[in-house]
Amino acid sequence: MKKEHVLHCQFSAWYPLFRSLTIKSVILPLPQNVKDYLLDDGTLVVSGREDPPARSQPDSDDEAEEIQWSDDENTATLTAPEFPEFTTKVQEAINSLGGSVFPKLNWSAPRDAYWIAMNSSLKCKTLSDIFLLFKSSDFITRDFTQPFIHCTDDSPDPCMEYELVLRKWCELIPGAEFRCFVKENKLIGISQRDYTQYYDHISKQKEEICRCIQDFFKKHIQYKFLDEDFVFDIYRDSRGKVWLIDFNPFGEVTDALLFTWEELLSGRSVRGDLSEGEAPEQDALVGPPLYSVITLVPSGCWKIALRCSPSFLQAAAAFTSTVTKRVFP
């Protein structure tokens, strides 16, 4: 994986090419002072938030005396910096997208920080909502500080222009999201995005899902992206329509989910000769679940491996039948 491959996966690099296939979005340049604020690892004070409600009056003089424990000259008030011009631009963009957005930087979204939001969601209505998520996210920090981690070329890092990406908020069902792996412009692997859950409809519709994604890839993605090795995420809605969600570099910086990068990079190791419910052998336990269901569809000189998480009973049966073996998804 080279640095140019990472640059090609920036949202602003691919969005103009595939705008009609994906969710409506707005891209705003990120001012340097906003970047500095987001990288400030001091006390978390979020810009743009309303002042907290005034405290109620103490019930007694004793309580008042207990509360007023510090002299004014020793009391520091933490205030967040304000960005009035940028705040106005962001709010206008949010309003143009329906009032609620999914935020991200050039590459990453703050998926690891959803827990800190009031609604435990990445749904944002104001810049302060976005700041709270961004300042709490290791993914966002990595975008700023290590955008070219795992790159193999020794060329100087390009000068980055960071962007705030606002995507129209859509309620996406986790069981309808898939990650697709492309090598030499051939689709070689599909993994369900949320590998922590078993989705019955994926197991029942796996051949249809695989054909649908393959058709979408051949019609809209193949030979149109800037590289021949890449990863793309899609969403298949209840009508069977496929939506493009994102592009990612083909390498370790991207989560391989139910695959391993060792097998994806080698190509030949993407196993496609397993029957449903069979678990391949491996010297060490690799990947989150114990095994996965694999379905194959021909794709030129490659085979597509569609992997999905097993049900509890399937996983238990596979584990029992391989007592002395270690298995991987």
Tell me which H or E stretch contains 23. none
> What percent of the chain is modeled with pLDDT above 90?
58
d(CA 284, CA 261): 14
Q: pTM, whole model, 2 decimals?
A: 0.78
Lowest-confidence segment of 40-44, 72-76, 152-156 by average pLDDT? 72-76
Higher model confidence: residue 109 or residue 50? 109
> What percent of the chain is modeled with pLDDT above 70?
71
What was the pLDDT predicted at 244? 98
- C-alpha distances (whole Å) from 44 to each of 49, 122, 139 are 12, 18, 17
d(CA 133, CA 147): 19
Tell me which H or E stretch contains 325. none
User: Crossing angle for the helix pair 127-134 and 32-39, nearest 10 degrees?
Assistant: 50
Confidence of residue 288 (pLDDT cuts 50, 70, 90): very low
- C-alpha distances (whole Å) from 104 to each of 3, 134, 177, 252, 317 are 20, 8, 18, 20, 41
In the chain, where does DSSP find H-type helix? Answer: 3-8, 11-18, 32-39, 61-67, 84-96, 127-134, 138-145, 200-204, 206-216, 261-266, 312-321
Q: Which of 67-71, 73-77, 229-233, 272-276 has the highest mean pLDDT?
A: 229-233
What is the arithmetic mean of pLDDT over 20-38? Answer: 96
What is the arithmetic mean of pLDDT over 269-285? Answer: 40
Confidence of residue 203 (pLDDT cuts 50, 70, 90): confident
What is the arithmetic mean of pLDDT over 246-275? Answer: 80
CA dihedral 6, 150, 3, 177 (to 10 degrees): -10
- Burial of residue 255 (CB within 10 Å: 0-12, 13-18, 19+) is middle
- Residues forming beta bridges with residue 167, ordered by sequence position: 25, 102
